Amino acid sequence: MTAPVAAPVAAPVTVDSKAPGIPWIRLVRIEMRKMVDTRAGFWLVLGIVIISALVTAAMLIWSDPRNLTFGQMFGMMNIPTGVLLPVLAILLVTSERSQRTGLVTYTLEPRRSRVVSAKLATSLVYAAAAVLVALAFGAIGTLLAGAFHGDIPNQWDMTWAGLRNSGMLQLIALLEGFGFAMVIMNSAAAIVGFFALPTLWTIISNIVPWMHEHIEPWASLNSAERPFQSGNTVAGEGWAHLGTAVAIWVLLPLLVGLWRLSRSEIK
């Protein structure tokens, strides 16, 4: 008789956390490619360009010629991008779960913070590109307005405060969407939460007079951003309101999202 020989037990496979990681720039390039590899991401990026062109055409056709200045047209371009950019960031963050690529991504790069930082950098690149698209269409619209309507008073006027405020508001909206996505980790739920929760808070604060008077200026991001939506400089109290609202709606979700991602199970 021969005794059966037990098969050797394979050693558990572990990830060497001290091994050199994937170069961070390569991670950013991968995330930028992944953003437009999906149909939703591709049409969202293309939609920013298409909507900017439609806004330019609509202003040239129906707007008062006195409003067809560079500053006004650039400001109008930021309205659709301010809505679409946070959705872009949400899709980028939640793509690992919606596309079921998380196991591959975090196996190749187990340092989750590096993947998150690459996604954040990719979002910032797309945000900068959206601002450049808005500037380009604003300039094209201003040139066409001058050709169609002749001389327009202060046609190329745009304050540095207006440019700074526009870029800052775009960045805040993008980071807010990024934070909501990290906390919720689901594309549809994060998009709904991003739009619904601030709106719900505004409705409640408008119903309760005490909250509307004392809490809303400090805790409502929409209310805090309102003074910065023009090309004028804002006093110190406005910056204090904005800083408090950003801490509540942007920094807090980002911190909670980082904590949740670092401890969640990757499937």
DSSP string, 115-155: HHHHHHHHHHHHHHHHHHHHHHHHHHHHHHHHHHH---TTT
- Cα 187 versus chain centre, distance: 13
Question: What is the DSSP code (8-state) at residue 100?
Answer: T
Among candidates 101, 104, 59, which has minimal Cα distance to 79?
59
The single residue listed with the structure tokens 């190329």 is 156
Stretches where the chain sits below pLDDT 50 are: 1
Residues 178-207 have pLDDT tens digits of 999 999 988 889 999 999 998 888 888 888
- In whole angstroms, give the CA distance from residue 52 to residue 133: 8
What pTM did the predictor assign? Answer: 0.84
Cβ within 8 Å of residue 204, ≥6 positions away: 211
Decide: residue 130, CB within 10 A, 0-12 exposed, 13-18 middle, 19+ buried: buried
Percent of the chain with pLDDT over 70: 90
Residues 223-242 have pLDDT tens digits of 888 888 877 778 888 899 99
